[in-house]
Amino acid sequence: MKTLLIAAATALAFGAPALAASSPAPNSNALSGVAPTVCVMSAPTINNADATLVSATANASAVQFSNFASPANAQLTPNQDFTLTVQATCNYAHSFGLKSQNGGLKNTTTSVVGGSFIQSVNYTVGGLWGLHPIALQTFGLPNTKSFGFGDVDGANRGSVVLAVSLNNPLFNRPLVAGAFTDVLTLQLGAPL
């Protein structure tokens, strides 16, 4: 044992042989990248003869009912519905919501001075985005928002399906003449 220690001390004093050279230290390089938070939607498609997609872009569309009211008595045509489908991608945890600006399809241009007429038509929307269902029911209150499971806890990509159905009025009364309008907003990303 003593001899080995002396030999080791001698090797340190006079230098180590060439074969004992140390290897260079490893060179570590950290790589990184950042993906932005993005929610994007395509223009919607429609799949029912009760309504027509008049115009459609990723930011806005217009839907017109094919036979909104009877030309004979101006009563709402019963059982009108359609489905809008939007392809979407959100790469982060986000919200999924709907909002009705008018709280239903409203006619704000024609006043009623006598008799019983319908000036607002309510509707329901059932929405599905992945495994997250939401619903909206209008009752004539402005800025009506959806309820349900609108908090999506991760990234999602696929079809947003909105099933829209006009509610038949309880009483058969004529609609006031003119346009009935609403703005239905689909929101992916920040809460409405």
Write down the pLDDT at residue 67: 87
Cβ pair 134, 150 in contact under 8 A: yes
Average pLDDT over residues 123-145: 94
Angle at Cα 103 formed by Cα 153 and Cα 112, nearest 5°?
175
Q: Which tens digit of pLDDT belongs to each residue from 63-119?
A: 998 889 999 999 998 888 999 999 999 999 999 999 999 999 999 898 899 989 999
Average pLDDT value over all residues in the chain: 86
Answer yes or no: is pLDDT of 147 > 80: yes
State how far the Cα of 94 lies from the Cα of 57, in Å rounded to an integer: 22
Write down the pLDDT at residue 49: 73
Task: Please state the length of the chain.
Answer: 192
Q: Which tens digit of pLDDT belongs to each residue from 21-56?
A: 677 888 899 999 999 999 999 999 998 777 888 888
Task: Give residue 17's pLDDT band: very low, low, confident or very high (50, 70, 90).
Answer: low
Burial class (CB in 10 A: 0-12, 13-18, 19+), 127: buried
Cβ pair 45, 53 in contact under 8 A: yes
Cβ pair 185, 136 in contact under 8 A: no
Write down the pLDDT at residue 143: 94
- Tell me the two tokens of residue 118: 């319908």
Q: Which of 56, 44, 71 is nearest to 163 (CA)?
A: 44
The pTM score is 0.80
Answer yes or no: is pLDDT of 6 > 50: no
Q: Which tens digit of pLDDT belongs to each residue from 39-48?
A: 999 999 998 7
State how far the Cα of 80 lies from the Cα of 169, in Å rounded to an integer: 12
Write down the pLDDT at residue 78: 84
57 or 145, higher pLDDT: 145
- Tell me the two tokens of residue 133: 């269902």
Write down the pLDDT at residue 26: 86
Answer yes or no: is pLDDT of 145 > 90: yes
Average pLDDT over residues 141-162: 94
Write down the pLDDT at residue 15: 53
State how far the Cα of 9 lies from the Cα of 62, in Å rounded to an integer: 90
